[in-house]
Structure formats: C-alpha cells, structure tokens
Structure 1
Amino acid sequence: MNRVVITGMGIYSCIGTTLAEVRTSLYEGKSGIIFSPERKEYGYRSALTGYVPTPDLKSLLGRRERISMGQESEFAYMATREALANASIDTHYLQKNEVGILFGNDSVAESVILTNDKIREKKDTTLVGSGAVFRTMNSTVTMNLSTLFGLRGVNMSISAACASGSHAVGLAYLLIQSGMQDCIICGGAQEVNKYSMGSFDGLGVFSMREEAPTQASRPFDAARDGLVPSGGAAALVLESYESAMRRGVTPIAEVVGYGFSSNGGHISTPNVDGPAQAMARALQNARMQASDIDYINAHATSTPIGDANEAKAIHQIFGSQTPVSSTKALTGHECWMAGASEIVYATLMMQHNFIAPNINFENPDADSQKLRIIAETTQISIRAFLSNSFGFGGTNSAIIVKK
C-alpha cells in the first residue's frame, strides 16, 4: 500500500485568491461575506454571499479555450495553476507522466440557464455557441482541466452535494494508495453567481442577518440562524511518497485516512450516526486513535440542526478535549468545494502552527458547550487533523491528514 502525500495546494476563495492571502485571512479571522444587492433584486430572501472575484483569463487562455468554461471551471483553473506550481509540476512533467484528475462539482446553474435563455429568445439552438455543451455538463470542471493541462490519468467529476470535494480527495487517496495512479490533481469547485443558490434560499436555510454580513455565519453559536452560501475552488496535488521522492520534492503533508457513510434517512436533515460512522471509519483506516487527532475542522455550516448533530457526533467519537473550529465562520459554506478547501485551510494551519478562529461564537448551546470550540486564533502544534464534510442525501466524508 503506497503512502499518499500532498505536494501542492491551490486556492481561489472569498478569503483570498492565493495561499499566502488565505493564510493571512485565516490567522486574522477575516471574513469574506458580503451583502449582494444583485441577489436581493433577483428575489433572494437573503442576499448574503461570499465574494469571489472573477478571474481575468484573457492573458492566460485563448478564446477557444475560454468559451468552454463556466464560472466553476474558471475558479478551478486558477486553483489548479497554483497547486501545480506549488508542487513544482510543469507542462513537461504532465506530458511525460500519467497524471489524473478528480474534482467535486454538483451544479452548472448559470451555464444551463443562460444557454436555455438564448434558445428561448432566438428559437434556434445553433445560436448557443460551440462551447455551451461543455459548460452545461456536470463534468465541466474535469472536462476542461484535463484538456487544458493535457492530463492522461483518471478523469472524473464527483457529485456528492456538499461532500463532493472531500470525496474527490478521498477517492484520489484510495487510487494512489492502491497503486493504480501515481499522481492525481483533486479538489472542488463551486459557482457563486445569482442563479446557483436560489433554490437553497427558497428552502429558508440561509442566515437573514443581512445588516451584519460578517457576523451572519456563526457555526455552533446558540444564535445561529442559517448558513451563508459561498464558493470558488480548491485544488490539491496528491501523489505517492515514492513519486514525490523521485521528483525530489518535499511533501507538504500526508493523507492517512478516509471515512465515509450514508445516513440512509431524510434527504436534507442530517443525523448523528452517519457522521460518527464516517469519522470512526477514517480513524480506523488511518490506524489512529481519537487521541491522535490534534484538531477537527468541522463541517458546521451555521444551521441549527446540522451543527447540533455534528457536535453530538464529534463528542461521541472524540469527547471534549480535541480543539474544534469551523472555517465556514469566515468563508460561509463553499458547498461543492468545501471538502477540498477546508483541507487546504487546515493544512495551512498545520504548516504554520495555529488554529483559525471560529468567529461569531459568542454563546454555546447545549451541544456545542461539550466541545472545545476555538473562538480566537490559537497557536498550537498540529500533528494530525480530521476534516468533516456532509451533504444532502445523507452523504458523509471524513479525511485525516498528518504532518
């Protein structure tokens, strides 16, 4: 069984569009949440969102390449560029070696809507353009990235709601561990346009604290009233330890455990047993005890039931002493990318010996008071962390990474 290491990371998010910017935001507890007048005018009950700048790709890609890319693919391209550079992988290496790609993505709302709007307006399907078909498929991210970077290994998009990015990392870990691949680019991407989250808003799951955007996402706090949608992209380069040594690069960290489960119950309401099973399986897969984990990056999205049930699950497996925080307090819920971005966030913390604050945690409830929630930036040596990701349909994923 091959050891699996992280040799590169890239991030494009509302708290920074480079690893350096994101590290600073994490340490300073800087929120990326804003109020969007465009969303309010469009009909959203809550116009809160993470602000992610539109990348300028004109200097990087030709028009023929850009017309196949929707917003999520643009974000993913930027994150992957940084991850490859961070891993010291260039075009020559990609041409000479088999590198795979697994990305989590579960929507292409803007591309689908704009394409069909044009058809309705013009009454002519030939006017949508040659890139429309590639923008409107759910595999658009891996389809574009595998082509742009000339990848010849495994090539799949993972669609698993808000656990998509985490499962992409977990599956990459298993493929490399088994020896089927030496190197895989994995991650998650999430569009942030006004078309992408309207149906979620209609469910009433978003925070209504529009007067105080940066205080709206408050995981584990007793006064939480819903999540804040966000997005962007995160990419990680995973490869076998032997591959990294052959290339002469120093691994950033090592992926040692992956656990998963399905709740098998309500389509949107989470439970306790499913998340607990995923965490227990990750520990078993890593051959580690709960006491070996120095930090838990919680899924906690700032919803009343979700946070409460995760707190119960964490307490069931880890007790009360392990430090816990949710970086969604800063970023909002990055949905399909969250499982990957939060591994990047936690790895940055592990590299630089701190835990980012779970901001807006002012008063615990009956469940969160049983946990050691980190509400302020804390200097600590992290040898190993566990990252949770859960999604609609009851899908659960837990990843363990160590120094």
Structure 2
Amino acid sequence: MNRVVITGMGIYSCIGKNKEEVVSSLYNGVSGIGIDPVRKEYGYNSALTGILERPDLKGCLDRKKRNYLSEQGMYAYVATTEALQQAGIDEDFLEKNEVGILYGNDSSTEPVIHAVDVIREKRNTALVGSGSIFQSMNSTVTMNLSVIFKLRGINFTISGACASGSHAIGMGFLLIQSGLQEAIVCGGAQEVNMYSVGSFDGLSAFSSREDNPGAASRPFDKNRDGLVPSGGGATVILESYESAKRRGATILAEVIGYGFSSNGDHISVPNIDGPKRSLEMALRNASLLPSDIRYINAHATSTPLGDLNEAHAIVQVFGEKSPYVTSTKSMTGHEMWMAGASEIVYSTLMMEKGFIAPNLNFEEPDEASSLLNIPTKTIETEFDTYLSNSFGFGGTNSSLIIKKFTP
C-alpha cells in the first residue's frame, strides 16, 4: 500500500481568500457570516449567509474559460491555483504526468435557473448561451478544472451531499494508496448565491438570529436554532509519498484513515449509529486507538438534532471529555458540498501552526455536548493527529484521519 500525503492546499472562503488570511481568522475566532438583504426581497425567512465575493478572473483566464465556469468553479479555480503552487506542480509537470481530479459538488443551481428564465421569457433556447451547459452540470468543477489545468488522470465529481468534499479526499486516498494514481487534485466547492439554498430556507433549516450574524452559527450550544449557509472552494493535492519524494516536494501532512457509512434511515434526520460506524471504520483503517486522536473537527452544523446525535456518537467512540472537539462552522457557517474539504484545510493549518480555533457561541451545553471537551477560546497546543467528520442528507457519512508526516 502506498502512503498518501498532502503536498499542497488552497482555500477561498468567507474567513479568507487564501491560507494566510484563513489562519488569522481561525486563530482570532473571526466569523465570516453576515446578511444578504436581497434574500428578504425574494421572501427568504433568513438572510444569513457566509459573505464572500466572486473572484475577478479576467487576468487569469480567457473569456471562453471564464464563461464556462460556474460560481463555485471560480472559487475552486482560485483554491486549486494556490494548492498547485504550494505543491510545486507547474504546467510542465501536469502535461507530462497523469494528475487526476476528484471534487465534491452536489448542485449548480444558479445557471439552471437563469437558463430556464431565458427559455420561458424568450422562447428561444439559443439565447441561453454556449456556457450554460458547462456551468449547470453537477460535474461543472471537474470538467472545467481538468481542461484549465490539463489534467489527464482520474476525472469525475463526487456527489454526496454535505459529505461530498470529504468523500472526494477519501476516494483520492484509496486510489493513490492502491497504486492506480500518483497524484490527484481533491476538494469541494459550494455556490453561495441565494438560489442555491431556497429549498433549505423553505424547510426552516436556517438560523433566524439576523440581529447578530456572528452569533448565529452555534454548534453544540443548547440554544442553537439552525445552520447558516455558506460556501467557497477548497483544494488539497494528494500524492503518493514516492512521487512527492521523487519531486522533492514539501510534505504538509499524511492521510492515514478513511471511514464511511450510510445511516439507512431517514432521508434528512441523522441518527447515532451511522456516524458512529464511520468513526470506528476510520480508526480501524488508520490502525489507531481512540486515544491517539488529539482533535476532532466535528460536522456539527448548529442544527438541534444533528449536533446532538453527533455528540452522542463521539462520546460512544471516544469517551467523555477527550479529545478536543470543535466545529469550525461556528465561524464559517455550513459550507455544504465544500465543507469536508475546507475543514481538512482548516484543521491541517491549525496542526501546522500549533493551535485549535475556538468553537464560537458555545455558551450553554446540552445533555450531549456537556460530555465533550469543547474549547471556547483559542487553545495553544501541539497535536499530531486529527479526525474530521462530514455527514449529509440521505445518511451519507465520511470521517478522515490526518497526521503530521514522519518519514
């Protein structure tokens, strides 16, 4: 089995447009959540969202390539550019080697709605535009980035609800471990326009704390009242150890465990058994004991039942008050299809810098979160192994274990 390492990371999120900005936000507990007033004009119950602007790519890509990119594709492009640069992978390497791409994405709503609006109004499908199809398919990110970066290896999209980004990294890990690929661009992307989350708002899934956006996302807090939608793009470059060593690449961390499961239960209400089995599989796959894990970046989205059941699952596997548990969603909101990848970037940056970011807005525990070791302030601590959870609609669960690299 090949060892699988991380040689590059990139991020574009509401708490930073690059790794340096993100580290500062994580360390200082800065929220990226705000209000989108346009949502109220369209009848939304909640205007809360992660706030980030679309990048200007005019100096980076030609008009045709920009026209083919969806919103989340733009975020993914910026994140992937940063990750490839850190990995030391240039155009020449990409042309001479079979580098793949696996990216998490489970919707591309805005271009679909715009196309339908044009057809209904103009009664002429030709006016939809040549870029519409490439923006509207679920595989929009992988199809575009594979062309832009001339990727010639594995190429498809992982569609697994809010575990999409995590499963993309997990599947990349398995492919490299088995020897089928040597390097894969992995990640997740999520659009943040209002169209993408209208159905969530209709289900009253969002927090209503519009008077204080920074306090709206409250993972594990007894008084949480719903998630805050967010998004962006996050990329990690996975590579076999032999490939990284051959290139003389700097190794940031090593992927050592991947666990997954399906709840086999309610389509939107999570249970305890599924997440618990995902955690246990990740530990078995990594050949670790629960006591080997120093930090857990929880899925916890700030929903009443989801946080409760995840806390119960963590306690059943790891016991009470150990290890440290936080949800970076307290700062970012729920980045959905992107979250499983962005939280690997966040957690790896924290492991690299020697701190654990605070779980914001955790003021009063409930019956389950009171059993967890949840810091509300930044913890200065060295840790060498962490686990990241991602769960999604349909009962899909993913758990990844990452450690500091030792030759």
Match of 1:157 in 2: 157
Distance 1:33 1:41 in 2: 19
Structure 1 stretch 64-73 or stretch 333-342: which is displaced more? Answer: 64-73
TM-score of the superposed pair, with normalisation by structure 1: 1.00
Q: CA deviation at 1:117?
A: 0.7
**Which shows bigger deviation, 294-303 or 374-383?**
374-383
2:24 maps to 24
Structure 1 position 43, deviation (Å): 1.2
Structure 1 unmatched runs, 5+: none
Unaligned runs of 5+ in 2: none
Which deviates more from structure 2 when the two are superposed, residues 130-139 or residues 147-156?
130-139
Q: Deviations over 1:159-190 (max 9, x none)?
A: 00000000000000000000000000000000
CA–CA separation in structure 1 for the residues paired with 2:174 and 2:226 = 34
Mapped to 2, the partners of 1:64 and 1:348 lie a distance apart of 35
- Deviation, 1:42, is 1.4
Deviation at 1:67, TM superposition (A): 0.9
Amino acid at match of 1:118: V
Query: SS of the residue aligned with 2:161?
Result: coil
Aligned to 2:374: 373
Q: Does 1:329 align with 2:336?
A: no
Which residue does the alignment assign to 2:345? 344
Q: Deviations over 1:258-313 (max 9, x none)?
A: 00000000000000000000000000000000000000000000000000000000
Separation of aligned partners in 1, 2:133 and 2:365: 48
1:147 paired with 2:147, answer yes
- Equivalences for 1:209-228 in 2 at 5 Å? 209-228=209-228
> Please, what TM-score do these two structures have when normalized by structure 2?
0.99
CA distance in 2, matches of 1:281, 1:371: 21
Paired with 2:39 and 2:126, the residues of 1 have a C-alpha distance of 31
Q: 1:252 maps to which residue?
A: 252
Q: In 2, distance between residues paired with 1:324 and 1:58? A: 41
Give distance in 2, aligned partners of 1:158 and 1:141. Answer: 10
1:242 deviates by 0.3
- Matches of 1:116 and 1:356 in 2, distance apart? 43
- The amino acid that maps onto 1:55 is P
The match for 2:35 is 35
State the partner residue of 2:303: 303
Compute the RMSD of aligned alpha carbons.
0.5
CA distance, structure 1, for counterparts of residue 70 and residue 168 of structure 2: 20
Provide the rounded CA distance (Å) in 1 between the counterparts of 2:82 and 2:115.
30
SS, match of residue 198 in structure 1: helix
Q: 2:15 aligned with 1:15, yes or no?
A: yes
**1:3-402 matches, cutoff 5 A:** 3-320=3-320, 321-402=322-403
The letter of the residue matching 1:302 is S
Amino acid at match of 1:388: N
Verify the 8 A CA contact 1:5 1:255 in the aligned structure 2: yes
CA contact (8 A) 1:42 1:194 kept: no
Amino acid at match of 2:326: S
Q: 1:362 aligns to what SS in structure 2?
A: coil
- Counterpart Cα distance in 1 of 2:52 and 2:144: 20
Distance 1:99 1:124 in 2: 40
Cα shift at 1:340: 0.2
Letter in 1 for 2:65: E
Kindly provide the amino acid, as one letter, of the partner of residue 378 in structure 1: I
TM-superposed CA distance for 1:115, in Å, is 1.1
Q: Secondary structure at the match of 1:197?
A: helix
After superposition, give the CA deviation of every residue in 1:129-187 in whole Å (9 maximum; x if it has no partner): 11111111110000000000000000010000000000000000000000000000000
Query: Matched residues in 2 for 1:284 and 1:73: separation?
Result: 35
Q: Deviations over 1:302-351 (max 9, x none)?
A: 00000000000000001122100000000000000000000000000000
Q: CA deviation at 1:229?
A: 0.2
Amino acid at match of 1:197: V
Of 145-154 and 111-120, more deviation after overlay is shown by 111-120
- Partner amino acid, structure 2, of 1:41: E
Deviations 1:93-119 (A, max 9, x none): 101111000000001000100011111
